[in-house]
Structure 1
């Protein structure tokens, strides 16, 4: 009889949550790379649709992403960035194409170059606990959300793109805080099980689904049935979406859950 591996409890997504810290030399500069711990049960994916890069998740993922953006706006160590690494990235919930790692950069603190991006991508996925654990503080975020704060975005610079195989978002501190608030509150009052907010005007977006994980599972099953290892063509993509919807509908009905479009 084989021994069972211990089941790790889900890491809490709250002020002071624990994250890993790594010191990496990227593009000739020293960087502090913050990553999620193995106990984190939030999951994400990415895709490119309507000329816009999307980060995809569920309500829990939105809370985590919001805290990552908020805390990043208050960092003081030059070269700091956050990476949502491959173990936390799913195939996308539409056609199950592979998702990309996600990189979050405070542009005030961390200059970013193609060389740095290339060096980082070569090292992913990162293994082991790195150089220690940090407590990620998000002072003020919960209080502002509870107060129903209305956030006004300031006209500062931001960008979002896929750089060396990583969906990358960079912004100044004021915009990091504004986007953190918008992402953190996704799903509050949402109808039809979906909500979204922009990142980097017209270039990026965060989109969340209440049944995100079911969509990923259905898309994976549909891809295996429709493609069977073959290339994705426009006709196959249409069939894949239809098959994925049928699988997800059957899954929802078997659990007595509402079917989302």
Structure 2
């Protein structure tokens, strides 16, 4: 299953467009880098959908409630057991596609981790890692982050990105642009805070 760019915003740090995301069940298939190149090119520019698959998450609410109850009772650590099947689990970028691949059981655990992120928020931000048990890690690890002020961050990063080429002599390469955009974000935020509020006439 691929989540294409129609559903993916620019990131909240430097407004770079996010990659399509491929969710790959490891027990059924894999996504070679050469194969990932084709959907990456096809999805480079958002277009009309040829079809859609509705992703149902039957049982997710029940699983989240169960984990929350166990954590509240202090029994989670005693009942939890590490996943047996973390073979071929990986989170990596393949030719412009972010591949999230794991066994169905591990994907279910990751879904619960992501669903519970709102339970532990620090200064408006929460995150969770996508990996296997610490003693049997995935080949590559990923992370999901959320921000309470996500839309504001994206807006600031977009303004910073538009302003950098006009004020800096850059080649436009991402590795060169990113630090300039990051440093400009603070200036944009400061200007927004100092902007006087308009009053109705």
TM-score normalised according to structure 1 size: 0.57
> May I ask how many residue pairs the two structures share in their alignment?
174
Which residue is 1:84 aligned to? 3
Q: Deviations over 1:123-156 (max 9, x none)?
A: 215643434x544322221122223154654151
Q: Which residue of 2 aligns with 1:136?
A: 55
**Highest Rg: 1 or 2?**
2
Instruction: Tell me by how many angstroms 1:203 deviates.
Output: 2.4
Counterparts of 1:102 and 1:234, CA distance in 2: 22
Aligned to 1:243: 184
In structure 2, stretches of 5+ residues that fail to align are 71-75, 132-137
The 2-side partners of 1:177 and 1:252 are apart by 42
2:118 counterpart of 1:198: no
Which position in structure 1 is the counterpart of 2:162? 224
Contact 1:152 1:178 in 2 (8 A): no
Partner of 1:168: helix, strand, or coil? strand
Give the secondary structure class of the aligned counterpart of 1:169: strand
Among 110, 115, 119, which residue is 1:179 paired with?
110
Could you tell me which runs of 5 or more consecutive residues in structure 1 were left unpaired when the two chains were aligned. 1-81, 257-261
Q: CA deviation at 1:120?
A: 1.9
- TM-score of the superposed pair, with normalisation by structure 2: 0.72
